Structure 1
Amino acid sequence: MSTHESADTVISNKKAALAGLYDDIHTSNMFPFWATSEGVDHDEIKQLMATSKAVPFVWKYGEIEPLLQRAAQLITMDDSERRSLILINPGLAPKRASVSTMYTAYRLNDPDEIMPPHKHSPSAIRFGLTGTGNFTGVEGEDVVFGPGDMVLTPNDAWHNHGTVGGEQAVNLSVLDLPLVETLNAIHFDHNYTEMEDGKEVEKKVQSARYPSDYSQSIYGEGGLRPRFVDHKRGGGLSSPMWVYRWEKMEAALDAHKDWDGDPHEGIVIDYVDPTTGGPVFRTISFYAQMLRPGEKTLPQRETASLLLAPFRGKGHSIIDGERFDWGQFDTLAVPGGSWVEHVNDSPNEPVIFFGATDAPTQKALYLYKRWGRNQAGDLLRLA
């Protein structure tokens, strides 16, 4: 055997041995993390990075609303106590996630449907789209809400949903369920009880314990905090202000419409916990973002994932070089790490996004970063 043949044999034997090693490792439910100079079929670094990832995507309300109507005809409250459409990111399917840490769901309730109470460890909000009779009862505060109003249903707070007033209503939900699921901390409870005459009695409707305007009367004026109430409602796990009314947010946006704003975001106003000034939940938070007529934001990139629902107006976004057109009540997924810029296509009307972000989780773990580019294209570190 020649020296050349001997070397080829050694290489061939090594390749065969490596292939056998990899097969045995994978069969044993393990993963090899090393790099070799051999041209084997296994690229360990690439495989390690090749986990399922969310992709930029737009769900169209024009496609969602007819499906909601069909579901309302076919699925009654006798069939199920829940009737929502969850938005599944194509890059994460079949996982119930619109981005890696959050999902959005749309819910249509027929006139005067009230679902029984439940609670769960994921934190959630409801944001009104159509109808003035959306209903959510949260820990004894009965909230009726309309377009643009945001209602919290916090971690471990009893709540129920429905409509009042004799008309259909549509709202969208945002939950941190994919994050909580990843942390193996999911729990649901549907056994709602109240004490009556010293006995625990199952109930299908929560009894009101607060006035229906409690959130606004106690927390509705910024900078003012009453001292005579308990601010730890629902266990103190979130903002104690259950409902944020649209007229307050709209007035704040209108008051700042002529400000310069942020060239990478336009005018952004956060929903906050009035007792701390921090995010409404520890895991995710929410904001309204306004683009003035014809406004185009400069490119930015952040580690946080975003879900954006255009509440007013229409336009398009460029995400990692690809154009995504959107209109009223659509939902746009912007995965963390994506370069994004938004464009208001109208020369006369503003765009207003309702936005959700997992930035609070990343900031708590010291993982959050944000970059942008200026007009010249230079890279900037923004956060």
Structure 2
Amino acid sequence: MNAPNNALLARQQLYRDMDPLNLTPLWEVLHALVPPQPASPCVPALWKYGQVRPFLMRAGQAITAEEAVRRVLILENPKLRGQSAVTQSLYAGLQLILPGEVAPSHRHTQSALRFIVEGSGAYTAVDGERTAMRPGDFIITPSWTFHDHGSEADGPVVWLDGLDIPMIRFFDAGFAQNGTARAQEVTRTEGTSFARYGHNMAPVRHDPPFGGKTSPLFSYPYERSREALQQLERLAPIDPWDGVKLRYLNPLTGGSPMPTMATFMQKLPAGFAGKGWRQTDGAVYSVVEGEAVVHAESPRGETWRFEVAARDHFVIPSWHTARLESAAGCVLFSFSDRPVHQALGIHQEERLS
């Protein structure tokens, strides 16, 4: 009995003696550092739009878009409160702009996406070109590009912001710069970027904008995305896990529109009862149309069931099993950090039977 006790005491003394040198033993933490399967601290969560919207409107009364710079309510994962994160690598929030307001011009190293949830008549300006914002549209703000938002609408306009803020924070690479004007000068006619890159063609002689890392298209209209989903629902087999699911592309590379975030649109046909899947990239969803039931299970066996409808938002963290059902049909937009997983060669996915 003495030998094991002596060894334990010797170890404890070793730890105390080397602690001032900022040393710690790997063998005490190895299983936590390299677990048998992903063990995200995040949990699935749902934000019902009917519950969130009143707080957005109250925020509109409490602070102007110019004062706030960006009037946003952050969707925080319940297990990451205070960290401004919906997963450990992604940020999500709902932004409100009111008639006549301008959210002032700035730029930052973080890449951003906007997915329009409510209202028409607002616009986003990116690097000298404006695009109208309509429900279901997916709009990109590339890293380190000046951008501002304004509204010529009669009522409120709300969109989902998705950014790689936690990821950039991990790399200690966050920078921001305010514009010199409240709104940037418009130097290109709306639709110019789509005319150049949105028809399976590109200018013969050109330097790819945004360093070639981000799609030269910064606005993807919902009417085109929805038309593609409807056509495939009629003409192609329905995937047992996803229904009909498409990923948005950078037309110059065929890869994701942004280097750190992938974006998707999917349609669950009426009567869809999907099979379960899990993946290492955590994903944030915005319900565009219809209703669905979301089933989720953690690697530890905890379960969740969400009933979701149009404009609701939910998150499925890394390696949580998810399954979707829809009696009447549903359209979902989602984004994840998949491009980073794929670039590092660590992406894993299981489609369960």
Q: Tell me if TM exceeds 0.5.
A: yes
CA distance in 1, matches of 2:52, 2:215: 31
Does the CA contact (< 8 Å) of 2:100 and 2:153 recur in 1?
yes
1:244 maps to: 220
2:192 paired with 1:214? yes
1:172 maps to: 160
Structure 1 residue 46: deviation in Å?
Answer: 4.3
CA distance in 1, matches of 2:105, 2:349: 39
Structure 1 residue 283: deviation in Å?
Answer: 1.1
Alignment of 1:307-322 (within 5 A): 307-320=284-297, 321-322=303-304
Alignment of 1:97-108 (within 5 A): 97-108=85-96
1:365 maps to: 344
In the superposition, the TM-score normalised over structure 2's length comes to 0.90
Does the CA contact (< 8 Å) of 2:142 and 2:258 recur in 1?
yes
Does the CA contact (< 8 Å) of 1:25 and 1:32 recur in 2?
no
Letter in 1 for 2:117: L
In the superposition, the TM-score normalised over structure 1's length comes to 0.84
CA distance in 2, matches of 1:235, 1:80: 30
Alignment of 1:293-304 (within 5 A): 293-304=270-281
Segments of 5+ residues of structure 2 without an aligned counterpart are 298-302
Does the CA contact (< 8 Å) of 1:239 and 1:272 recur in 2?
yes
2:313 maps to: 331
- Residue deviations 1:274-297 (CA, integer Å, cap 9, x gap): 122211011111010111012021
Structure 1 residue 110: deviation in Å?
Answer: 1.0
2:16 paired with 1:45? no
- Residue deviations 1:322-370 (CA, integer Å, cap 9, x gap): 32222222221111111111111x2xx3211101021111111111121
Displacement over 6 Å in runs of 4+:
none
Does the CA contact (< 8 Å) of 2:122 and 2:133 recur in 1?
yes
Letter in 1 for 2:123: F
Larger Rg: 1
Does the CA contact (< 8 Å) of 1:52 and 1:92 recur in 2?
no
CA distance in 2, matches of 1:264, 1:318: 13
Letter in 2 for 1:292: P
Q: How many residues align?
A: 345
User: Are residues 68 and 257 of structure 1, via their aligned partners in 2, closer, same or farther at CA, if it must alter by over 3 Å?
Assistant: same
CA distance in 2, matches of 1:244, 1:104: 19
Alignment of 1:183-222 (within 5 A): 183-190=171-178, 192=179, 202-221=180-199
Letter in 2 for 1:225: A
1:253 maps to: 229
Worse overlay, 10-19 or 129-138: 10-19
CA distance in 1, matches of 2:45, 2:25: 33
Structure 1 residue 160: deviation in Å?
Answer: 0.7
Greater length-normalized contact order (CA 8 Å, ≥ 6 residues apart): 2
Structure 1 residue 78: deviation in Å?
Answer: 5.5
Does the CA contact (< 8 Å) of 1:318 and 1:340 recur in 2?
yes
Structure 1 residue 116: deviation in Å?
Answer: 1.7
Structure 1 residue 19: deviation in Å?
Answer: 3.5
The alignment's C-alpha RMSD in Å is 2.2
2:273 paired with 1:287? no
Worse overlay, 102-111 or 47-56: 47-56
User: Are residues 47 and 272 of structure 1, via their aligned partners in 2, closer, same or farther at CA, if it must alter by over 3 Å?
Assistant: closer
- Residue deviations 1:232-262 (CA, integer Å, cap 9, x gap): 2234331011110011001101111132232
Q: For 1:143, which of 119, 128, 131 is the aligned residue?
A: 131
Does the CA contact (< 8 Å) of 2:40 and 2:317 recur in 1?
no
2:153 paired with 1:153? no
Segments of 5+ residues of structure 1 without an aligned counterpart are 1-6, 36-42, 193-201, 375-383
User: Are residues 263 and 231 of structure 1, via their aligned partners in 2, closer, same or farther at CA, if it must alter by over 3 Å?
Assistant: farther
Q: Name the SS for the 1:72 alignment partner.
A: helix
